Amino acid sequence: MTRVGRALLLVLTLALVALGSACGRGASSAAVEDYQVAFAVEPSPAAVGPATVTVTIHDRDGKPVTGARVQVEGNMTHAGMKPVFADAAEVGDGRYVTDGFAFTMGGDWILTARVTLPDGTAFEQAMDLPGVQGEEGH
């Protein structure tokens, strides 16, 4: 990746962390505020087609969360779209990487990470991802 590309990805990641905490919703059992969930999307900027979503999870003390099951769901902000699902595999340091995720239309998306910890505790964190590039029609 180029230096500029890396810098852009970092900026995007930071922006997504901020958005994620601003619009977190739907903690199911565990308090999502006990965890920090960050999203990174490649390519950056996001575009229609295959994409890799990396979900990074730390606990309140900043320790990476290991051994979790993580699924990413992508939804557009308008009605009538089928959601996109992908499981995310653990790659270490609290990072989980999707395989098989793809944006199916350009426009505004919401990514939701559903996290199940080894003890069965579950929570989810959503993040706005506006402006995915590409065709906006079907």
The least CB distance from residue 137 to Cu ion, in Å, is 9
Give the single-character DSSP code of 7: H
48 binds Cu ion (CB under 5 A): no
81 binds Cu ion (CB under 5 A): yes
Terminal CA-CA length for the chain: 32
Query: Residue 51 in contact with residue 43, Cβ under 8 Å?
Result: yes
Residue closer to Cu ion by CB (options 38, 111) is 111
Tokens read off for 14: 């930071």
Q: How many angstroms separate the CA atoms of 67 and 65, rounded?
A: 7
15 binds Cu ion (CB under 5 A): no
105 binds Cu ion (CB under 5 A): yes
Amino acid at 134: G
CA distances from 24 to 13, 32, 117 (A): 16, 8, 18
With CB under 5 A as the contact rule, which of the stretches 10-18, 43-51, 72-80, 122-130 interacts with Cu ion?
72-80
Residue closer to Cu ion by CB (options 27, 81) is 81
76 binds Cu ion (CB under 5 A): yes
Residues in contact with Cu ion by the rule CB under 5 A: 76, 81, 105
